[in-house]
Structure 1
Amino acid sequence: MMLFTQTRGLPVITADAAEPLGRVESLTIDAHTASIACLRLSGAPKHAAVIAWHAVEAVGRDAVIVRSRAAAGPGQGGLPTHHEALGHRVLTELGTEHGTVKDVAFDHTSGHVHTLYTALGEISGDRLLGLGSYAVVVRTETA
């Protein structure tokens, strides 16, 4: 498992040419699949500022490796709109507040969101329903 906070700032390089593309600025979550949809980079050329998760070879403590510059290039249509998860409030579908997102744990291989860490405790990534500009929305916990 990796945390969003551990991933931010990591250099992103290509596997084929060891070419630096930029640094991880943020991760975009696809709430429908409860997984990482793409990386958003800072310091990257415009064509490589967004990299779809399927282009990622590996995520480690020191760097993120993508297959190639071509895999990181344009043509990333169909990605969800980016909304930052960290720092946003968490609400259940019934409107009950559950603090703010402090961190997100995800599988560094598949990109599956495992856990949302909030100010009021942990929430399984499987409960994720939506992510917008106002809040992260999760299913109410069943008894």
Structure 2
Amino acid sequence: MMLFTEVRGLPVVPPDGAGPLGTVTSLTVDVVTGSVSHVWWRGGRFGRETALPWDAVGAVGPGALRVRSGSRSGGASASAPSHHDLLGRRILTDTGTGRGTVLDVAFDTRTARLLALFTTRGELPADRLLGLGDYALVVRAG
């Protein structure tokens, strides 16, 4: 298990470990599956942000995020989904009640499944996620 805040800033390294490709900037979540779908990273000093599909990630640890062997051009995705960062996102229930903001998210680094959301109002189980948009993260009330 790792937290989103632990993954941010990790170097993205190729399978051969020959120098970093860039640095992780954020993670995209697929609310329907309840898992991380893409890793966003920025390469070089003025490099643009690139999306890496989760299936191109070989391993994630406290020292680096390693790209899976066989991923071309670092596994960069030409068809990345729209990205809404969960960290700092306002939380609303499906009935419209505010539930604070997201401070961090725990996820399984092997399966990419979300485990829990840590919010300004306590912990929320990941299975309560319903939607994510420009304005807020929507969770099931209860």
Same fold (TM over 0.5): yes
State the distance in 2 between where 1:74 and 1:64 align.
14
- Post-superposition CA distance 1:30-67 (Å, at most 9, x none): 11111001010122565x81100000111100100011
The number of residues matched between the two structures is 139
The 3-state SS of whatever aligns with 1:62 is: coil
Aligned counterpart, 2:74: 72
Deviation at 1:21, TM superposition (A): 1.4
CA contact (8 A) 1:52 1:76 kept: no
SS of 2:55 mapped into structure 1:
helix
Quick one: distance in 2 between partners of 1:132 and 1:84?
9
Give the match for residue 8 of structure 1.
Answer: 8
Provide the C-alpha distance between the structure 2 equivalents of 1:90 and 1:71, rounded to a whole number of angstroms: 36
Deviation at 1:19, TM superposition (A): 4.2
Corresponding position of 1:23: 23
Shift of 1:95: 0.7
Q: Considering only aligned residues, what root-mean-square deviation do their CA atoms show, in Å?
A: 1.8
Matched, 1:130 2:134: no
Verify the 8 A CA contact 2:102 2:118 in the aligned structure 1: yes
Cα distance change on mapping 1:25 and 1:75 into 2, 3 Å: closer
* Identity in percent: 49
Relative to the length of structure 2, the TM-score reads: 0.89
